[in-house]
Amino acid sequence: MRDFLPDDSTVLRLIDVRDLGDARPGEELVTADLTSSTEMRAVMEGVDAVIHPGGIAGEDTYGHIRDVNVDGTYDVLKAARQAGTRRVAFASSIHAVGLYPRTDLIGPEVPVRPDTSHGVSKVYGEALGRMYAEKYGVTFVSVRICSFRPRPRDTRHLSTWLSPRDAAQLFARAVTAPPEVLPHGFRSVAGISGNARRWMTPESWDALGYVPQDDAESHAAEVESLRGDPDDLTEQRQGGVFVSPNYRGRTG
């Protein structure tokens, strides 16, 4: 998203625990750990809005997920509130609802059905964001990212793909949409491109002003044959391999 977000009126303060290289025009680079409340409080000074994709993007041990995705998100939101930051856009995940069948077309208001500890951490982030919105006035947009990749890799991605330029547009809209389009200061939205085969409804797209530019269908010929056993649970539920009882992610 870094390649698509900058414009002449925006300064991006990019935070990571690793070296991000040289700053580009319109960027400030800061090395900081989102699990440190002190460091988060320092980097939040003067920030108008936060795009928060930081954390563990896949499954891991519960302890690691808790420390980074749960406690880290708490530190980010707490620091935002203390600094007077007006908006947080949170990178949630399809894995917050990953156990829904692929035959279901789901919207942002369906009951959560997380498929992993990672998915549970995203449910927590959404709930925490809603509390901060209604209790403290930090408006919050939860973007349930499905499959954020340069291009689709398999048949599942024909439904779940989110292209880099669409991701950048969606998160930019999430932090710039007027407060009046956020009921109770909170809104959840599907994080996908304009895929013809999508399993998530486009509710809230119009309110945010998001108009996807890409459709995974343009890659269908490349990936149509790349699918697993249709009788396997991982091919029946929206979360893919994450729904397997044996899936351990980065823990092996």
Give the pLDDT confidence of 58-80 residue by residue, as tens digits: 999 999 999 999 999 999 999 99
- Helix-helix angle 71-83:117-131, to 10 degrees: 20
Name the CA radius of gyration of the chain, rounded. Answer: 18
Contact of 215 with 195, CB cutoff 8 Å: yes
Is residue 116, in this structure, part of any structural domain at all?
Answer: yes
Contact of 191 with 230, CB cutoff 8 Å: no
CA distance 20 to 14: 8
Is residue 7, in this structure, part of any structural domain at all?
Answer: no
Number of domains present in the structure of the chain: 1
Is residue 81, in this structure, part of any structural domain at all?
Answer: yes
* Total length of the chain: 252
193-238 tens-digit pLDDT: 999 999 999 999 999 999 999 999 999 999 988 888 999 999 999 9
Is residue 36, in this structure, part of any structural domain at all?
Answer: yes
| pLDDT reported for residue 176 | 94
pTM of the model: 0.94
The helix (run of H) or strand (run of E) holding residue 118 is helix 117-131
- Over the chain, what is the mean pLDDT? 94
| pLDDT reported for residue 227 | 86
Low-confidence ranges of the chain (pLDDT < 70): 6, 250-252
Is residue 145, in this structure, part of any structural domain at all?
Answer: yes
| pLDDT reported for residue 251 | 61
Is residue 1, in this structure, part of any structural domain at all?
Answer: no
Tokens of 249: 């992610």
The phi, psi pair for 14, rounded to 5°, reads -95, 130
CATH number at residue 138: 3.40.50.720
Is residue 30, in this structure, part of any structural domain at all?
Answer: yes
Q: Which amino acid is at 144?
A: R
Closest alpha carbon to 129 in 193, 60, 78:
78
Assign 3-class secondary structure to 23-88: CCCCEEEEECCCCCHHHHHHHCCCCCEEEECCCCCCCCCHHHHHHHHHHHHHHHHHHHHHHCCCEE
Tokens of 196: 């013809």
Residue range of the domain that includes 61: 12-251
Is residue 2, in this structure, part of any structural domain at all?
Answer: no
